[in-house]
Amino acid sequence: MRRLSSGTDEELLGSADPEAFGLFYDRHVHTMLGYFARRTRDPEAAADLTAETFAAALVARRRFRPGPVPASAWLFGIAQHKLADYHRHGSAQDRALRKLGMQRPPVNADDAELIASLGRESAADMLSELPEDQRKAVAGHVIDDVGYPELAAAAGTSEAVVRKRVSRGLSSLRARIGVRR
């Protein structure tokens, strides 16, 4: 097991040992929960989406080929699709879970608290890496849901500049988590 645990994400995904997928999960589950918690603001939905994303990754892992794009970016690609499906349907889909004959485990009060805090932490961590003007614009518009005109007035600049800051900030964040341009 020592050899497995020191393997790269790509090696873990390619391994036939079921425990290897468990280790891959260990490395990314908190990031995934935080990502979905931040986007849905709903711990139950974040748990649904995380379970469905890892189930889809398990189903598709034989198709993953190591290359210049890291496995974490591949996982985020799946997550992005699941999130889009969630917004489109108004709820998380469970196609991959059903394919595997799995049910999403229940979320108790402690779990919900943990998931919510992961969302807050990862948002703060990621935003802290942005330049100040972009951080304020992204935090204001995406997290606090403030409109562009209000943000522009507060920053003493034009609405177009704020839009650009938000767009650039989000581009930077996407790039950091490995999502396509």
Partner 1 sequence: MSRPFVSELRRELVDAAARRERRRLRLPALRLGRRPALALAAAACAAIALAVVALPGGDQQRNQTSAAPGSETPLFGGSLDPNVRYATRVQRPALSLQVDDDGWFVPDASEPSYLELQRVGPRAQSGQEAVVGRLSFLRPAQVYDPNARGSVDAALADVPEDFLGWLRRHPDVRAGRPQPVSVAGLDGMQIDVTIAFSRPALEDPECRRTVGRVCTAIAPFMTPVNGERARIMAFEVDGAPYVIGISAFDQRGLDALLPHAEAVLETLRVR
Among 102, 143, 146, 177, binds partner 1 (CB under 8 A): 102
Closest CA relative to residue 93, chosen from 102, 83, 101, 78: 83
Pick one of 8, 19, 91, 125: the residue that binds partner 1 (CB under 8 A).
19
- Distances 123 to 21, 47, 72 between C-alpha atoms, Å: 26, 17, 18
Query: x/- string (CB under 8 A) for partner 1, residues 119-158?
Result: ---------------------------------------x
Using CB under 8 A, pick the residue from 4, 100, 155, 177 that binds partner 1: 100
Q: Report helix, strand or coil for 39.
A: helix
Burial class, 110, CB count within 10 angstroms (exposed 0-12 / middle 13-18 / buried 19+): exposed
Residue 158 CB coordination number (10 Å): 12
Q: Choose which of 64, 93, 121, 143 interacts with partner 1 (CB under 8 A).
A: 64
Q: How far apart are the C-alpha atoms of 145 and 55, rounded to whole Å?
A: 32
Residues of this chain that bind partner 1 (CB under 8 A): 16, 18-19, 21-22, 25-26, 29-30, 33, 47, 50-51, 54-55, 58, 60, 63-69, 73-74, 77, 80-81, 83-85, 87-88, 100-108, 110-111, 114-115, 158-161, 163-164, 167-168, 170-172, 174-175, 179-181
